[in-house]
Amino acid sequence: MKPCVFEKCLTIALAIVGASFECAGAAAQAPAAQQTPPAQQTQSAPPAQTQQAADTATDPQRPALHQRYPRYRIRSSDVIDLTFRFTPEFNQEVTVQPDGYIQARGLPNDVYVQGMTVSEMTAVLQKSYSTILNQPEIGVTLKDFDKPYFVAGGLVGKPGKYDLRGTTTATQAVAMAGGFADGAKNSQVVLFRRSNTDDWMEVKVLNLKEVLKGKKLNEDTVLQPGDMLYVPKSTWSKIEKFLPRSSVGAYFSPAML
């Protein structure tokens, strides 16, 4: 074979081999490129999907979470001191009326404050007094108010009304009330809690039997001021989520309420 012909054949062979390597490299990179989008989609999954999965795994029957250290909310008959930094002539002591209003000196209309925290009441008063004063600075101080308490009734050792001091869970409250009495249905302890108004009560069923076994600790709800625990004797077939406050008296002695 002539040298020139041999060189041409060698050049063609090298070209074919090079093309084969390029195809193999492209094929090897293709799966990696296809795998990249799913990985990116996994990382950028919206938080809503994660939250939805968590909600699905959550027991729908468990009590809703509540603020552990709730702020005191103004109630009727509370006595409150109002102090004005720049206009002390408006300093006064007010009492919350049964309908939730206060009569504040200098204002043409009464102000509704029941159910508010101290900071919320301060903001409402500053807005009301801004119509007659220039940028008023008002201090709101609780002088006499309803002390925090809870009520335990039903099959407990000592039914009654107890001071709520510090963080107290449902099982601790039952212990303070003398523990469960004979025949108590501790798997269906009923918690009555004030709703947004004083006319309705929110009702929850707590399985304290499991809590005492070290299970379902989320059932051991932290009590809020005014909560009422009722320990029944037998299983309740049906419990409404909300009840009129007037009907709660059927489970508790009037002296407790």
Q: Which phi and psi (to 5°) does residue 132 adopt?
A: -125, -15
Contact in structure between 181 and 159 (CB atoms under 8 Å): no
The dihedrals phi and psi of 32, each to the nearest 5 degrees, come to: -60, -40
Average pLDDT value for residue range 109-124: 96
Region(s) of the chain under CATH 3.30.1950.10: 79-144
Q: Write the pLDDT tens digit of every residue in 56-85.
A: 444 444 444 455 567 888 988 999 999 999
How many angstroms separate the first and last alpha carbons of the chain?
116
pLDDT (mean) for 46-58: 44
164-173 pLDDT tens trace: 888 899 999 9
pLDDT at residue 155, as a whole number: 93
Q: HSE-up of 126 (CA within 13 Å, CB side)?
A: 14
Query: Domain spanning 149-250: which superfamily?
Result: Outer membrane lipoprotein wza domain like (3.10.560.10)
At residue 201, does pLDDT exceed 90? Answer: no
Question: Three-class SS of residue 16?
Answer: helix
The pLDDT of residue 69 is 62
What mean pLDDT value characterizes the chain? 77
Class of CATH domain 79-144: alpha beta
Length of the chain counted residue by residue: 257
Say yes or no to pLDDT of 107 above 70: yes
- pLDDT higher for 122 or 22? 122
pLDDT at position 253 is 64
d(Cα 59, Cα 76) in Å, to the nearest integer? 37
Predicted local distance difference test score (pLDDT) of residue 219: 86
Domain with CATH 3.10.560.10 in the chain: 149-250
